[in-house]
Chain A
Amino acid sequence: DGGITQSPKYLFRKEGQNVTLSCEQNLNHDAMYWYRQDPGQGLRLIYYSQIVNDFQKGDIAEGYSVSREKKESFPLTVTSAQKNPTAFYLCASSIGRKNWPQHFGDGTRLSIL
């Protein structure tokens, strides 16, 4: 089955700690995205990548970092500089043509200890 896998489903971060959220897709999609969702709100774009070894900041990139070394993988690191990291994080991918529909993973819920 093709799809997007996010892990872990739940993650806890201590003060001053960096944590990495995993996102893997086997859809052969070129574009990948990371969004943050806060309770009762829509999705806000953190980072996106159109091709391997290239990525761009979204609206709320501060305190986050990404890499895109392989087409299938787009991990997100939440650094200690992100002072309010508690949220639901969603990874998505798409073919990469002009605003083609996105496929989403089932998210990682990050909380502060």
Chain B
Amino acid sequence: SQQGEEDPQALSIQEGENATMNCSYKTSINNLQWYRQNSGRGLVHLILIRSNEREKHSGRLRVTLDTSKKSSSLLITASRAADTASYFCATGVTGNQFYFGTGTSLTVIP
């Protein structure tokens, strides 16, 4: 399977704290993307990082990519209750396909 693995599977933090989740993958990639999924809904795209980039920021989100280790991390700073959701990494590979990780379930306690 080319599916990535997220770590941890579940994360519970207090509002205002930072949340870090990691993604490891197996194959060469064109880019890596992070998505959020609220319960019972579709996925929403958060941020994309290309294979030749090492770090990217968007608002309270910071993504890093280490292609030598085939891993990425997503940092959400100053978390809010509304950030409670599942977060998935998706690797973009040849043929315009995507392979999604298993997800991290984040709970932000008010």
| Chain A residues packing against B (C-beta within 8 Å) | 4, 6, 31, 33, 35, 40-45, 48, 50, 56, 58-59, 90, 92, 94, 96-99, 101-107, 109
Contact = CB atoms under 8 A, between A and B. Distances in A.
Interface in B14-40: 30-31, 33, 35, 40
A101 B42 contact: no
B41 A99 contact: no
A102 B41 contact: no
Interface residues of B, number: 27
Contacts of A40: 102-103
A30 B30 CA distance: 19
Contacts of B43: 43, 90, 92, 102, 104
B30 A99 contact: yes
A34 to B, nearest CB: 12
